[in-house]
Every structure is written in structure tokens, then in C-alpha cells.
């Protein structure tokens, strides 16, 4: 059996480490060509020693010597800087690139991988949030199919297999509701970072966990779904499903609904994206329907979780608006984690930033870059 040669961008994060779990379980199927990390030098060093990639990148240049010296006896070439991440995404030796970077940092490497005609497993929703129109046009030009890794989008992708010629009425993205399901705005006033980081169902990195608590993550998934599946905003519904068993659903024009179910284990959609179109064996807990006592759903309240409403607004307005939302959100999440602002202030600052940035109807790549820079500056100006 020939091995699929893979580059993992963001190998030390939650998705990256779980992807390496899949590789460990299937060493005959996968070979790691390149690994990249942001600033977690110690874990990257461990991964280099175990998987012996040809290239490793530590984006934080201050950690370069530490990584290089630690693996000096190996054949791995160590590089540093954000430009190096984009370079390895386009490396000729890799067949597939798993984009598991966090936030805006995923855009440039994803574009580089598309232009290099790589198979792309996309776990970085912000790439499509920021520049979905541009990215999808490039995919069409280069004949690239994005394989979604998010559990919700993987579920939609699976439900649509074999149904591409049938008329779709809508998709239903499920949301766990996070740690604050059912809370009022008054109660959310006193939320601390420690409270927001306690997700009831999923183990994720700090940024995505806060986004889940504020429902910005679900808002971003709405935008991502629009681009992945060529939908209009009215075709995308969100339902809070606290059991996290149904990962998402699709409804067709005859009223039939298909759903994808499973345990809340991110290795499942990661493995499917890596092995597609084949499903391969994956160890772990199986869904036991004898223990499933109920499956419940409720509509989210956009007046309480305003980030969801702001994401839909960005989708309606199009242009560079979603890019503004993403940039402002990255700033407010950072400052909330640093205890500089409150939980509800995050939505206020994002909305105020949206009002301040000049609208561009058909942004170029350079427009997206400038929008991101300006939106971050404006968002920071609202933080005292």
C-alpha cells in the first residue's frame, strides 16, 4: 500500500495533535512530510523526533534556535516565519495539506496550497470566513475540492454524498450551546475566561472554545457553509443540540432529512478528510443507542448571543464585512482571555468595528490584507 504524504499546518494544536493520532494508528497509510507550529516549540520538537518530517516550521522566530538545536542530529530541515508556513503548504513532496491553523493565519498557506494543486483538508474555517469568494474562485480555477474537517461541515458533506443532483432546501448546523446554554444577557455579564473555557462536550484550543461559548464559532460555521456548499443565508439554519450526537443535517425538497451521527470525537472527521473517499478503521468509543436517552433541539437566541446575528449580517452584506468580523473577533477573544474586557463587550466591539471599516464590495487579496490590518487597529482602539 502506498503511503499518502501529508503536511500538517498547525501540528501542535487540537486538530493537529488528533490528526497525528490518526497517523499513529495507520502508519502504513500516512507519511508526514512537513509539520508547522506557531510557538509551541517543545511539542513540535517531540513531534519531529517521533515522525521525522523532512521539514518543520516554527512560525515564532524567537523559538527557531531552540527547535533547530534540539533536532540537530536528525535530517529534518527547520525553518521559521509565517512565509515558511506558506512555502511548505506548496511543497511538491506533499500530496495533501491539512490546514489546522487558527484564525487569519490560515489564509495565505491555504491559497498557496490551492495554487500548488494540493488536496486540502480544511480545519481552518476563518479562511472561508475572511475570503470565501476569493478562495472558492481559486479552487474552481485550479480544480481543487476542499475537504471539510469541522464536524458540522463534515456531516453536511457526508449527507450530500450521492445527492448532488437533488434539490436541497436547507442545511441544519447543530450547536452544543456551549457552557452558557439558556443563560440570559444579565447572567453573561459576569462570565470569566475560566468559565468560558469549560466546554461541556468538546476538547478544543482556547480560541475556538471561547468562540464556541460566544457562538461566534457557529456564526463562522454558517459563513463557511455558504462557501463550501454554495448556499444562500436563508438555507442555513442553526439548532442547539446539547447532546452533540447529531453533527448536522440536510433537508431536501421532498421533506426528507438526512443526519450524520456519532460520538463527539474530532478524530472521525479528521480521519475521513485524510482518507477520502475511503473510510478507514479508527479505534475509539462507538455510539451506543441503548444509552442515548434523548435528542433535543432548540433555536439559539441571537439577542443573547449577538455574535451569531453579526455573522449572519456579515454574510448578507458580503464584500469584506466578514473579514472585519474575523479580525475584530481575534482581538476581542485575546483581550477577553487577558481579562481586559468582559464577555458581552466582545460583541459590542465587533459591531462597532464593523461600522467603522470602509466597505469593499469585491475585495482583492490585497484588500483583504488591508481590511484585516485596519479592523484589528480599530478593534484595539475600543479597548481601554
The string of pLDDT tens digits covering residues 47-62 is 999 999 999 999 999 9
pLDDT digits (tens, 9 = 90+) for 333-351: 999 999 999 999 999 999 9
User: Is the pLDDT confidence value at 3 over 80?
Assistant: yes
pLDDT digits (tens, 9 = 90+) for 31-45: 999 999 999 999 999
Question: Phi first, then psi: what are they for 114, rounded to 5°?
Answer: -60, -50
User: Is the pLDDT confidence value at 66 over 90?
Assistant: yes
Percent of the chain predicted with pLDDT > 90: 92
Pick the closest to residue 98 from 309, 273, 317 (CA basis). Answer: 273
d(CA 279, CA 262): 14
Instruction: State the pLDDT at residue 203.
Output: 65
Mean pLDDT of 288-300: 94
More confident residue, 206 or 5: 5
pLDDT digits (tens, 9 = 90+) for 352-362: 999 999 999 99
User: Which region, left, alpha or beta, applies to residue 32 given φ > 0 means left and ψ of -120 to 50 means alpha?
Assistant: beta
Q: How far is CA 339 from the centre of its chain?
A: 24
Instruction: State the pLDDT at residue 177.
Output: 86
What is the residue-averaged pLDDT of the chain? 95
Rounded to 10 degrees, the C-alpha dihedral 228/229/233/238 comes to: -90
Side-chain-side CA neighbours of residue 71 (13 Å): 28
At 202, list the grid cell.
468538546
DSSP label at residue 383: -
CB 196 within 8 A of CB 337: no
CB 26 within 8 A of CB 53: no
User: Is the pLDDT confidence value at 103 over 90?
Assistant: no
Reported as type and span, the H/E element at residue 33 is strand 30-37
pLDDT digits (tens, 9 = 90+) for 224-278: 999 999 999 999 999 999 999 999 999 999 999 999 999 999 999 999 999 999 9
Pick the closest to residue 59 from 78, 42, 81 (CA basis). Answer: 81
> Which neighbouring-strand residues pair with 237?
172
Mean pLDDT of 292-313: 95
d(CA 342, CA 344): 6
d(CA 55, CA 357): 39
Instruction: State the pLDDT at residue 1.
Output: 61
What pLDDT band is residue 67 in, cutting at 50, 70 and 90? very high
Instruction: State the pLDDT at residue 357.
Output: 98
d(CA 89, CA 99): 9
Instruction: State the pLDDT at residue 221.
Output: 96
Give the position of cell 439548532. 239
Give the C-alpha distances (Å, rounded to integers) separating 324 from 104, 231, 315.
Answer: 11, 21, 12
d(CA 291, CA 285): 13
pLDDT digits (tens, 9 = 90+) for 155-211: 999 999 999 899 999 999 999 888 899 899 999 999 999 999 987 766 677 888 899
Instruction: State the pLDDT at residue 208.
Output: 86
CB atoms near residue 34 (< 10 Å): 27
Pick the closest to residue 4 from 33, 24, 36 (CA basis). Answer: 33
Q: Spell out the domains of the chain, with CATH numbers in brackets.
A: 4-144 (3.40.50.720), 153-264+289-302 (no CATH), 318-384 (1.10.1740.10)
Instruction: State the pLDDT at residue 202.
Output: 64
Radius of gyration (C-alpha) of the chain in whole angstroms = 20
CB 76 within 8 A of CB 55: yes
Q: In the sheet where 96-99 sits, what is the strand order?
A: 77-80, 55-58, 30-37, 4-9, 96-99, 119-122, 146-148
Instruction: State the pLDDT at residue 384.
Output: 76
d(CA 259, CA 245): 10
Amino acid at each position: 500500500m502506498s503511503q499518502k504524504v501529508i503536511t500538517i499546518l498547525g501540528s501542535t494544536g487540537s486538530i493537529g495533535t488528533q490528526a497525528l493520532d490518526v497517523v499513529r494508528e495507520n502508519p502504513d497509510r500516512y507519511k508526514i512530510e512537513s509539520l508547522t507550529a506557531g510557538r509551541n516549540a517543545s511539542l513540535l520538537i517531540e513531534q519531529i523526533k517521533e515522525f521525522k518530517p523532512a521539514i518543520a516550521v516554527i512560525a515564532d522566530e524567537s523559538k527557531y534556535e531552540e527547535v533547530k538545536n534540539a533536532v540537530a542530529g536528525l535530517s529534518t530541515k527547520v525553518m521559521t516565519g509565517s512565509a515558511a508556513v506558506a512555502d511548505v503548504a506548496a511543497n511538491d513532496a506533499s500530496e495533501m495539506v491539512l490546514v489546522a491553523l487558527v484564525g487569519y493565519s490560515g489564509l495565505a498557506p491555504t491559497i498557496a496550497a490551492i495554487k500548488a494543486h494540493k488536496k486540502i483538508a480544511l480545519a481552518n474555517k476563518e479562511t472561508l470566513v475572511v475570503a470565501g469568494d476569493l478562495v472558492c474562485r481559486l479552487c474552481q480555477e485550479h480544480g481543487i475540492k476542499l475537504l471539510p474537517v469541522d464536524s458540522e461541515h463534515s456531516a453536511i458533506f457526508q449527507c450530500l454524498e450521492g445527492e448532488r443532483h437533488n434539490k436541497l432546501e436547507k442545511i441544519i448546523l447543530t450547536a452544543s450551546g456551549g457552557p452558557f446554554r439558556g443563560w440570559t444577557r444579565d447572567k453573561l455579564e459576569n462570565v470569566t475566561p475560566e468559565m468560558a473555557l469549560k466546554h461541556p462536550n468538546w476538547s478544543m484550543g482556547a480560541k475556538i472554545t471561547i468562540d464556541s461559548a460566544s457562538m461566534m464559532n457557529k456564526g463562522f460555521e454558517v459563513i463557511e457553509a455558504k462557501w463550501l456548499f454554495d448556499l444562500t443565508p436563508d438555507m442555513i439554519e442553526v439548532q442547539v443540540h446539547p447532546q452533540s450526537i447529531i453533527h448536522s443535517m440536510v433537508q431536501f425538497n421532498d421533506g426528507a432529512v438526512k443526519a450524520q451521527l456519532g460520538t463527539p470525537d474530532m478524530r472521525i472527521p479528521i480521519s475521513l478528510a485524510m482518507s477520502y473517499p475511503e473510510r478507514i478503521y479508527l479505534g475509539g468509543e462507538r455510539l451506543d443507542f441503548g444509552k442515548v436517552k434523548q435528542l433535543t433541539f432548540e433555536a439559539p437566541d441571537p439577542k443573547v448571543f449577538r455574535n451569531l446575528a453579526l455573522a449572519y449580517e456579515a454574510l448578507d452584506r458580503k464584500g469584506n464585512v466578514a473579514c472585519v468580523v474575523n479580525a475584530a473577533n481575534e482581538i476581542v477573544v485575546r483581550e477577553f482571555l487577558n481579562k481586559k474586557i468582559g464577555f458581552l463587550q466582545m460583541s459590542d466591539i465587533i459591531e462597532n468595528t464593523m461600522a467603522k471599516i470602509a466597505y469593499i464590495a469585491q475585495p482583492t487579496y490585497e484588500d483583504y490584507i488591508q481590511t484585516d490590518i485596519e479592523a484589528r487597529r480599530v478593534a484595539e482602539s475600543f479597548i481601554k
